[in-house]
Structure 1
Amino acid sequence: TDMMLLLLLLGTAWLNAASAAKLGVVQTEGGLVEGKSHRMGLFRTVDVFMGVPFADVPGKWEKPKPHPGWSGLLKATKARDRCLQVTLLQTKTRGSEDCLYLNIFVPQGRKLSTNLPVMVYLFGGAFLLGASNDVAILGDSLYDGKEMADRGGVIVVTVNYRVGTIGFLSTGDARLPGNYGLWDQHAAISWVRRNIEAFGGNPDNITIFGQSAGAASVSYQMLSPYSKGLFRRAISQCGVALSPWALQKNPMALTKKIALKVGCWKSDEDEMLACLKMSDPVGLTMAGKIDLKPSLAPVVDGDFIPDEPSRLYHNAAHFDYMAGVNSMDGHIFAGVDVPSINMRNETTVTQVRGLLARLTKEKGSAAVDSAYGVYTAHWGSVPEQAVVKKTVADIESDFLFLVPTQIALQLHANNASGARTYSYLFNMKTRIPGFPRWVEAEHAEDLQYLFGKPFSTPLVYFPRHRDLSEHMMAYWTNFAKSGDPSIGDSKVPAPWPPFTKHHHPYLTINNKITKSSIG
């Protein structure tokens, strides 16, 4: 029995020695924070800090201000409110004006991590909704950074920023310049730069990445003169500042529509603005719903965004950049413009021409004919309905996502000085039930794989989904480490050549990546 006891004691001592390191209490500029340690495997944990403030509660339509700090210990164990926004169905609002918080995921092995690359994520949601800890379908939030941190050996940070009317209302002049949500993102990235060393991160190796409106935001952060030296690399997934939906062209017109909705319309603009400033934020948020065409987005404010985005690429010359789209990014939007594509009804040639006419209206009728020629070249004399319907989705994907992204990559490569550029196309078949057979990768479907959902909720996925997830986490975290998605601690299935001024290769991302996935 003494022997048993001895073995038991040795056993527990060994187990304690075998557990991973953990950060415990961390000193930040605002005060002390303590997170929670999550076990990922033998000798592996992730320290998670939820709801760390990076700025003070913002004033209405004011830039974020530094947080005053706190005394004692801040228990950072649960997510804070998202920024005030409409719900997905846009029938009511949720969230709070007190929302400028971020979440930090730090991977740990046997020794405490130091000098890790840092990846800061900006969520998407049309500049209208979203949160750093968005929708939990099964298990953790979609943007839970534990798998990516653990498998990729990077610190993942997810941040909140103001959206909708509160984040992007603008008069197009100094009275209400707009871009408040972009300033919030900037404040968050700056906070990470100043504080992440205490969490084991390398402040000189920050990568910002985002999807959809978050990807356009990444693009704006790269183009802003305020980002000089702030981060090193950037990744845009399905969106860039050049996307037609990513810039408000006539912000005052939209502001007047919103004023009308909340009972503030006055012929005197200054009186109208005074009324808006006193309006209830919930009412203002409801008034910014998507049925307003065009909708809320960043503006050229002469400050954070000093000029048309396409003229600011000299500011992005030193950032390594990776950008791409999903093959059917435009499908859900095409289904709104041409509903027949998702129904049994026939999609007609007239509908296809009508869509092209709407998308090219600034370019005149000759543009419609030439575009129609390009998009129907493969149709043959009697095209199958599936072919016609897929063409409509392709047109919309190209207009909203693919063409702007390719232009952004070209502008980046043209201006780059010592920085690299990479292009991809994600085309894994959709997992959404009920869609027609021709639908490939839907808008936002890349995120579940990037954030490792096939590993954290394995029952809803197949091995091929885990393969894809592994590939994506490897390329993304390698890029964060080295600036080259093929070089890092994670093995990749095929080398990914850079996009250059005169050579435009791209990697097709799905579960079967080989050397022939380069197109």
Structure 2
Amino acid sequence: MMEKLGILVTVAVFLEMVSATSLGVVYTEGGMVEGENIRLGYRHHMDIFKGVPFADIPGRFEKPQRHPGWDGVLKATEYRKRCLQLTLFMTDTRGSEDCLYLNIWVPHGRSVSTNLPVMVWIYGGGFMAGGSMGANFLNNYLYDGQEIADRGNVIVVTLGYRVGTLGFLSTGDSSLPGNYGLWDQQAAIAWVHRNIRSFGGDPDNITIFGESAGGASVSFQTLTPHNKGLIKRAISQSGVALCPWGIIKNPRKIAEEVALKVNCPTDDRMAACLKMTDPVLLTKAGPLNLSGSPDAPLVNNLVLSAVIDGDFLPDAPSKLFHNAADIDYIAGVNDMDGHIFTAFDVPSINSHLVDTPIEDMKRLLASYTREKGKAGLDEAYSTYTSTWASNPSKEDIKRTIVDIGTDYIFLVPTQAALYLHAANAKSGRTYSYLFSEPNRMAGVGRPYPSWVGADHADDLQYVFGKPLTTPLGYWPRHRDLARYMIAYWTNFAKTGDPNNGDLSVPATWPKFTNGHQYLEINNKMDKNYVRQKMRMRYVHFWTSVLPNLPISILE
């Protein structure tokens, strides 16, 4: 009997292996591609395509063009190089100008998938760095789409786009208009819309999602008129178009600084000279200063980003929300998103031994409110000290500095974007969240004080399911949180409602339009984690009180 059972199991396994569900060779507009098929379980497979070109090698400081195509079958089994950028320590470059490729994860059950929702990821990195092409650090590939695709039963796409000088330098006029990295993202979204049906995806159900500069990019992609009808839903994590670092205020000045570094003239010959300059030299000339102080905050050094060019962005982002009227939108921040930035500006906030002077907090506030002079600083200081006791503790001062950075750099602009999305929405739904899982580097005997909450980028590991793929590095509560976030994100991609889909969730997430409600996301969450009017006093200060103060005549 046991022998017969063994034979039956062997036959079943053999039949499953020879009939593995796979797309095989896929026909795209550029030619045929073939990825890798992996087995995840019984009648459970996934096709992975790496390095599929979505555009031609881009011309320097030019919009991307369609790929001319290829002969034969393109073996899409290796990641391509990321776009040319500075290395971590900014002493050298990595990557290539030939970088407009994307990767696709397609899950299959008993039969080959059809009509799946599609989630397109846009990475962050301050518009200066980043990539979706393989390992980010050591052997850990953070943006591996497998876990989201598998658990959520969605197609995941990650893409490359130009960053730094080559992606965002602009003269502020038609000679070098800028926004090349945003055009790359748009070309990838359009390619997915045209081709994803061949991979088993639904071209009419595309969700774009991203974090930091990627979250702002998602926001820009919903606001540009060039994506009309291409995007169904969007998720911005810790970044929107309204962030103070989202738009270059004076692109010409930055272009001239780069030109001088590479020995180009700064007159009407500048653009032609820059286009002829070695791309590595151009990349190294990109302004990136990772030093900060209360008087010159790090966030002000993020100077290469989008420009209002009259084309991709016909107007200021705040005036373009009508273009997102039919796009379902989730936007949120981490509760201490500003920690990594303010730690550059005021290093003592992370010290267990050194007090942080109140004067440092005043100097940081003065930098953020500079154009309003003393009146702006006084209003800001009274707003942020209104909850203090008469003699604030060391921790009160340090935490308030992080709150100031979080509010100014991320939280308030995100709330403003949610208000504008909701105000302009037709069929589009609006959802707000605050991610508050404490940083894993915080606590006794660790680099950060125990009061540090969710720092910038802390959400990424959970969205991409790292506690599930590398369980030894995490506790069970972290795996719970990863399941929750994948459930909310993929339910939303399927239905436009994060509560409704194939995966159950721990709390019902109300729409933002229901009294400005939001969901606080962490491993302990339940129905009691639905909150209302996120940091309203501070949102009101930055969006209403401060803008209505007169501009300082000292400016």
TM-score, with length taken from structure 2 = 0.90
Give the equivalent residue in structure 2 for 1:211.
211
Deviation at 1:274, TM superposition (A): 2.1
Give the equivalent residue in structure 2 for 1:260.
260
Matched, 1:399 2:400: no
Distance (whole Å) between structure 1 residues aligned to residue 522 and residue 133 of structure 2:
26
CA contact (8 A) 1:90 1:289 kept: no
Matched, 1:14 2:12: yes
Specify the code of the residue in structure 1 equivalent to 2:121: Y
Describe how 1:428-447 pairs up with structure 2 within 5 A: 428-432=437-441, 433-447=446-460
Deviation at 1:261, TM superposition (A): 1.3
Deviation at 1:4, TM superposition (A): 7.9
Deviation at 1:40, TM superposition (A): 2.4
Give the equivalent residue in structure 2 for 1:493.
506
CA contact (8 A) 2:258 2:287 kept: no
Distance (whole Å) between structure 1 residues aligned to residue 468 and residue 137 of structure 2:
14
Deviations 1:102-121 (CA, angstroms, capped at 9, x unpaired): 00001111111111000000
Give the equivalent residue in structure 1 for 2:295.
none
Distance (whole Å) between structure 1 residues aligned to residue 527 and residue 374 of structure 2:
42
Give the equivalent residue in structure 1 for 2:102.
102
Structure 1: where are the runs of 5+ without partners?
none
Q: Secondary structure at the match of 1:83?
A: coil
Distance (whole Å) between structure 2 residues aligned to residue 4 and residue 370 of structure 1:
81
CA contact (8 A) 2:329 2:431 kept: yes
Stretch of structure 1 that moved more, 177-186 or 138-147: 138-147
Query: Sequence identity of aligned pairs in percent?
Result: 60
Matched, 1:508 2:520: yes
Specify the code of the residue in structure 2 equivalent to 1:278: M
Deviation at 1:330, TM superposition (A): 0.6
Distance (whole Å) between structure 2 residues aligned to residue 272 and residue 300 of structure 1:
20
Give the equivalent residue in structure 1 for 2:398.
389
Give the equivalent residue in structure 1 for 2:32.
32
Give the equivalent residue in structure 1 for 2:283.
285
Match of 2:329 among 315, 321, 326: 321
Give the equivalent residue in structure 2 for 1:86.
86
Distance (whole Å) between structure 1 residues aligned to residue 136 and residue 185 of structure 2:
23
Deviations 1:137-158 (CA, angstroms, capped at 9, x unpaired): 4755100000000000100000
Q: Secondary structure at the match of 2:269?
A: helix
Q: Secondary structure at the match of 1:506?
A: strand
Deviation at 1:166, TM superposition (A): 0.3
Deviation at 1:43, TM superposition (A): 2.4
Deviations 1:253-284 (CA, angstroms, capped at 9, x unpaired): 000011111121x25x2222222111110010
Give the equivalent residue in structure 1 for 2:421.
412
Give the equivalent residue in structure 2 for 1:466.
479
Give the equivalent residue in structure 1 for 2:551.
none
Deviations 1:281-304 (CA, angstroms, capped at 9, x unpaired): 001001114129351001000001
Question: Residues 56, 217 of structure 1: CA spacing in aligned structure 2 closer, same or farther, 3 A cutoff?
Answer: same
Describe how 1:154-193 pairs up with structure 2 within 5 A: 154-193=154-193
Specify the code of the residue in structure 1 equivalent to 2:391: V
Distance (whole Å) between structure 1 residues aligned to residue 498 and residue 15 of structure 2:
35
Stretch of structure 1 that moved more, 291-300 or 96-105: 291-300
Question: Residues 341, 140 of structure 1: CA spacing in aligned structure 2 closer, same or farther, 3 A cutoff?
Answer: closer
Give the equivalent residue in structure 1 for 2:45.
45
Specify the code of the residue in structure 2 equivalent to 1:503: G
Deviation at 1:231, TM superposition (A): 1.1
Match of 1:374 among 364, 369, 383: 383
CA contact (8 A) 2:79 2:134 kept: no
Give the equivalent residue in structure 2 for 1:312.
320
Question: Residues 218, 449 of structure 1: CA spacing in aligned structure 2 closer, same or farther, 3 A cutoff?
Answer: same
Distance (whole Å) between structure 2 residues aligned to residue 5 and residue 496 of structure 1:
53
Deviations 1:75-101 (CA, angstroms, capped at 9, x unpaired): 111100000000122111000000000
Give the equivalent residue in structure 1 for 2:490.
477
Deviation at 1:136, TM superposition (A): 4.2
Question: Residues 51, 227 of structure 1: CA spacing in aligned structure 2 closer, same or farther, 3 A cutoff?
Answer: same
Match of 1:299 among 300, 307, 315: 307
Distance (whole Å) between structure 1 residues aligned to residue 68 and residue 412 of structure 2:
44
Distance (whole Å) between structure 1 residues aligned to residue 90 and residue 478 of structure 2:
32
Deviations 1:142-186 (CA, angstroms, capped at 9, x unpaired): 000000000001000000000000000101110000000000000
CA contact (8 A) 1:133 1:144 kept: no
Distance (whole Å) between structure 1 residues aligned to residue 203 and residue 170 of structure 2:
33
Matched, 1:233 2:233: yes
Root-mean-square deviation (Å): 1.5
Distance (whole Å) between structure 2 residues aligned to residue 63 and residue 10 of structure 1:
58
Q: Secondary structure at the match of 2:268?
A: helix
Structure 2: where are the runs of 5+ without partners?
290-299, 532-555
Match of 2:273 among 272, 275, 290: 275
Deviation at 1:503, TM superposition (A): 1.6
Deviation at 1:235, TM superposition (A): 0.4
Distance (whole Å) between structure 1 residues aligned to residue 271 and residue 29 of structure 2:
36
Specify the code of the residue in structure 2 equivalent to 1:396: G
Question: Residues 48, 362 of structure 1: CA spacing in aligned structure 2 closer, same or farther, 3 A cutoff?
Answer: same
Q: How many residues align?
A: 514
Q: Secondary structure at the match of 1:270?
A: coil
Give the equivalent residue in structure 2 for 1:125.
125
Distance (whole Å) between structure 2 residues aligned to residue 135 and residue 261 of structure 1:
32
Stretch of structure 1 that moved more, 208-217 or 375-384: 375-384
Distance (whole Å) between structure 1 residues aligned to residue 389 and residue 116 of structure 2:
54
Q: Secondary structure at the match of 1:322?
A: strand
CA contact (8 A) 2:53 2:101 kept: yes
Matched, 1:348 2:348: no
Distance (whole Å) between structure 2 residues aligned to residue 491 and residue 277 of structure 1:
52
Distance (whole Å) between structure 1 residues aligned to residue 480 and residue 83 of structure 2:
35
Give the equivalent residue in structure 1 for 2:147.
147
Question: Residues 467, 7 of structure 1: CA spacing in aligned structure 2 closer, same or farther, 3 A cutoff?
Answer: closer
Q: Secondary structure at the match of 2:195?
A: helix
Q: Secondary structure at the match of 2:97?
A: coil
Q: Secondary structure at the match of 1:121?
A: strand
